[in-house]
Chains A and B, each alone.
Chain A
């Protein structure tokens, strides 16, 4: 059997066993090339056209009644899952396109949400500064009362005692509120920063990948 007879027989075998024309063309372009390029000993190693054909069909996922030929395929499918991390398969491409689209939408609509976002950040900043000022004010008032009270202790002792007490109370309250407030603010800022940066990272890396 010469090369062209071999190829005709192979094509016929694939066709008779229900392989799609598209798959046949692809397989034939590979094996046809190989057979045309190889020496007679080399292409005879492929086996008869029907032997090679049933291997091709098995790898193509078409069952020819030879269960042994499926084991190779199973090994490849198993190996394939582990490699998925490298391969931009269709699903990844879709996800990337979606992220790209989202990024474009976000950039284009900056005039719409930019003002709102800026307003929210400014409002949060205002509340934090306001609270901080109020608490510090409480502390300052406490110190003032303390000083006044200590001075009054020598002139009008009862009033001095009351003022000193009030001063301690206010100064203490300031400390009790201020420290946790600062901690809370730091935690909030950290959280907000990491949330924003991870969202950005996710979006950008998705587009770049």
Chain B
């Protein structure tokens, strides 16, 4: 994706991926990378912040003789994600309005 990700958008993506199903760091990184060239060292602070804010929680699950850390979305996380999706929708519409000359502008169609 050619547009830089804001921290807010990155949070939205991480929350969305984890909402689909509980996931671990590697899988999460791969999922996010499908749309943005983020590095692992970008995602770690995002995960940490989301956990600190109680939007995600983690648990360890045994995998091939070691513990793998899984992330799970909390109720607060789902609420926050709904808010972020609403914001994204608004943001998308206002960008589309100018970029693709769609929707209603205050000044009518040009």
Q: Write out the residue numbers on chain B whose beta carbons fall within 8 Å of the beta carbon of A46.
A: 39-41
Between A and B, how many residue pairs show CB distances below 8 Å? 70
Proximity bits, B39-80, A CB within 8 Å = 1, else 0: 111101101110001110000100000111100000010011
Instruction: Name 26 interchain pairs, CB-CB below 8 A, sorted by A.
Output: A29-B69, A30-B25, A30-B69, A31-B25, A31-B44, A33-B68, A34-B29, A36-B66, A37-B24, A37-B25, A45-B39, A52-B41, A55-B41, A56-B41, A56-B44, A59-B44, A73-B45, A76-B7, A76-B45, A76-B49, A80-B7, A87-B53, A87-B54, A87-B55, A87-B80, A89-B53
Q: Does B103 contact A (CB under 8 A)?
A: no
A72 to B4, CA, bound (A): 13
Q: Which residues of A contact B (CB under 8 A)?
A: 26-27, 29-31, 33-34, 36-38, 45-46, 52, 55-56, 59, 72-73, 75-76, 78-80, 82-83, 85-89
Contacts A29-B69, A34-B26 known; A83 to B44 CB distance under 8 Å?
no
Q: Write out the residue numbers on chain A whose beta carbons fall within 8 Å of the beta carbon of B19.
A: none
Q: Write out the residue numbers on chain A whose beta carbons fall within 8 Å of the beta carbon of B29.
A: 34
Contact of A83 among B7, B27, B40, B67 (CB under 8 A): B7
Contacts A56-B44, A79-B7 known; A34 to B25 CB distance under 8 Å?
yes
Contact A26 B48 (CB under 8 A): yes
| In the complex, the 6 A-B pairs of residues with the closest C-beta atoms, listed nearest first | A79-B7, A37-B26, A86-B80, A87-B53, A55-B41, A59-B45
Q: Write out the residue numbers on chain A whose beta carbons fall within 8 Å of the beta carbon of B27.
A: 37
A4 to B33, CA, bound (A): 25
A75 to B8, CA, bound (A): 11
Contact A33 B69 (CB under 8 A): yes
Q: Write out the residue numbers on chain B whose beta carbons fall within 8 Å of the beta carbon of A29.
A: 60, 67, 69
Contact B83 A86 (CB under 8 A): yes
A48 vs chain B, min Cβ distance (A): 13
Number of interface residues of B (CB under 8 A): 31
A7 vs chain B, min Cβ distance (A): 11
A88 to B42, CA, bound (A): 23
Contact B44 A27 (CB under 8 A): yes
Q: Which residue of B lies closest to A81 (CB)?
A: B7
A159 vs chain B, min Cβ distance (A): 74
Contact of B47 among A30, A45, A73, A89 (CB under 8 A): A30
Q: Which residue of A lies closest to B49 (CB)?
A: A80
B76 vs chain A, min Cβ distance (A): 6
Q: Write out the residue numbers on chain A whose beta carbons fall within 8 Å of the beta carbon of B66.
A: 36
Q: Write out the residue numbers on chain B whose beta carbons fall within 8 Å of the beta carbon of A87.
A: 53-55, 76, 80
B33 vs chain A, min Cβ distance (A): 10
A195 vs chain B, min Cβ distance (A): 30
A27 to B43, CA, bound (A): 11
Proximity bits, B1-39, A CB within 8 Å = 1, else 0: 000001110010000000000001111010000000001
B55 vs chain A, min Cβ distance (A): 7
Contacts A33-B24, A34-B25, A80-B49 known; A59 to B6 CB distance under 8 Å?
no
